[in-house]
Structure 1
Amino acid sequence: MSTETAAKTVDVKGQNCPMPVIKTKGAFDDVSAGETLEVVATDSGSLSDIKGWAESTADAELLDQQETTEGGEDVYKHYIKKVE
């Protein structure tokens, strides 16, 4: 999964719980069915928080979660598809 395949990217780096989930939900509302939202976070809690949100949201499918390091900082990328 990469940004080329995401319809929209939300950057919530530097924000802690609950903001990554709140901003994910807001951005997800603007994504059309069949499109994928990419969320980029630095809060390690976003891994479980966004997974839990996606599992409890009828039209959300968590496709992938990736942990990377950028500029010495841990970065967590989440890919959520809006299903019909």
Structure 2
Amino acid sequence: MAEASLLDLKGLNCPLPVLRTGKALRALAAGDLLIVEATDPMAAIDIPHFCREQGHRLVEEKKEGAVLRFIIARGA
């Protein structure tokens, strides 16, 4: 079963959420899950785009109040 890690990026502004997401994904094994929570509205654009460009799978994207929550499966 894939491991899951939580990355709390609430309060950080662009470009930090996507940069820190990339760094956290590099530390994971292929198939592992990263749960990202951010409050920067640009993360709703940046993180899905980053996943498409880098070959990661965006498993889920949800907004709860001001918090954007992404579940990302690390690509190969």
TM-score w.r.t. length of structure 2: 0.90
User: Offset at 1:6?
Assistant: 6.0
- Aligned partners of 1:7 and 1:37 also within 8 Å: yes
Aligned-pair identity in percent equals 31
2:58 counterpart of 1:65: no
Q: Secondary structure at the match of 1:8?
A: strand
Amino acid at match of 2:14: C
Runs of 4+ in 1 over 4 A off after TM superposition: none
User: Offset at 1:30?
Assistant: 1.1
- Per the alignment, residue 76 of structure 1 pairs with 68
TM-score w.r.t. length of structure 1: 0.82
Q: Secondary structure at the match of 1:52?
A: helix
Matched residue count: 75
RMSD of aligned residue pairs (Cα, Å): 1.4
For residues 24-72 of structure 1, the C-alpha deviation after alignment (integer angstroms, 9 at most, x for no partner) is 00100111111110110001110110011001002x1111110002xxx
- Per the alignment, residue 13 of structure 1 pairs with 10
Give, in whole Å, the separation in 2 of the partners of 1:7 and 1:64. Answer: 13
Amino acid at match of 2:61: Q
- Aligned partners of 1:40 and 1:76 also within 8 Å: yes
- Structure 1: runs of 5+ lacking an equivalent: none
- Aligned partners of 1:7 and 1:31 also within 8 Å: no
2:50 counterpart of 1:43: no
Give, in whole Å, the separation in 2 of the partners of 1:48 and 1:76. Answer: 11
Larger Rg: 1
